[in-house]
Chains A and B, each alone.
Chain A
């Protein structure tokens, strides 16, 4: 079946612009995660959605970062006023309710000039 999909695959933006990154989880997966993979920092958790519960935003690095999940499915990660240090690969993962295995999408490579 279809895996986790993310769009765009690559995004180049100028410093100060806003960007939106999209994630389509696997059908039936109620849990959705955003991670960031950057050089020297490895993979860092950003935000986690589980069903209709309030999201766990504890990993968001600043208030310029936000995410929403509409209808319990598609999620959008928004970065406002992008900075060069935001350049990274943003990964989305999803899983079944209370399951241990997360399935990752291919990522969006964000480059802030």
Chain B
């Protein structure tokens, strides 16, 4: 059974940076596209970013484009999210998720981490 474990969350001032990690185990990490999804307190789910299994393609939500960068190290079974120029509205629980539908024309998320809370506040 696969497992994802996020780390790196915390409290950060507006305008600063933070890096999240997602350690994968129990499945062949390099076979799957990976995503970040976030959830602001009391709000719904918001897709943030995707990175193809081989790193060949990536995409971002409009709300984070130009500020966030997704990357992965398949040799370490780890997904990353570098978050720069953070704003108060980036405050959320950030989840990494495995794309069960990798290789098809859609994406769907079957494994999720427990989430890591990022709070942007002065």
Partners in one complex: no
